[in-house]
Structure 1
């Protein structure tokens, strides 16, 4: 290890020579930590990419929130927060691979995993009462599934498709029950109504 000799210094009348080893020439630990943090958080190259990611995630959250608000206003088990989280999560599952350079063709495996995972989440919203032969929560489970698809569209940057899909799903959830006869008119609750 080579040493670097500094010029002689005078301190209180005595002279001394200081040597610094090559090891001490490394940047301070704080600089090294800062450099590592900068590298770790540099996965987004510029402001336009950050804006694009933010817009996609916010759109997913808002559209999921619209559907979740409708479910929550009817007192269903999965409401505003659940639908928002499903939409944002689905968008993230698409954004991550796209940012890492994954090809669109390879993204199909990610989408299969999202659909399968949402299937398990939706299954948790379904309650079967065998004695009354009633199924509750099927519509909520379907809305969770549709919300994931809307989140995927937002994550892919297909915002118009996501907005149109949300409008159609909202009409199905809000208007169709008013068109169909009520359970009291049919004397029994049909399977899947909730």
Structure 2
């Protein structure tokens, strides 16, 4: 039990308000680009751009935290071996990006699966944060992703910006629109 209290009680190198501000800023900037893409009726839209931007910000923040984590300090090195913890970020981003690319496909003039792919990439960042014990980052980014996926989906459907709305109505398909799913 003490180990759990110790695990969830340690602070991050970056203060939590700064983490929140950076993630929200990434979400706003991603939304600005995504809105422009929605407006121009392009395949990757609002949610996709926000998720990718937040994922990239999460990986960047995780890199900062890894560099300052005591578990990767010089005393950890044994037998002259060198540790490069940043390779964990590289491996996860490459591996998850490969998997995410597999869910994106082009069918009947439409790109599908972009938001799912972006969500997978963000899930990789969240998993990395949780695995490194940076639960504050993992929890906040998960909450932010759920808001992006849930609330913005409702917004897109309400203002007819999302192809998902068509999927709810049989026979309401219009080819060539190319929204991300």
Higher RCO (CA-CA < 8 Å; seq separation 6+) = 2
Higher helix share: 2
TM-score of the superposed pair, with normalisation by structure 1: 0.43
Larger-Rg structure: 1
What TM-score do the two structures reach when normalised by structure 2?
0.46
In proportion to residue count, which structure has more strand? 1
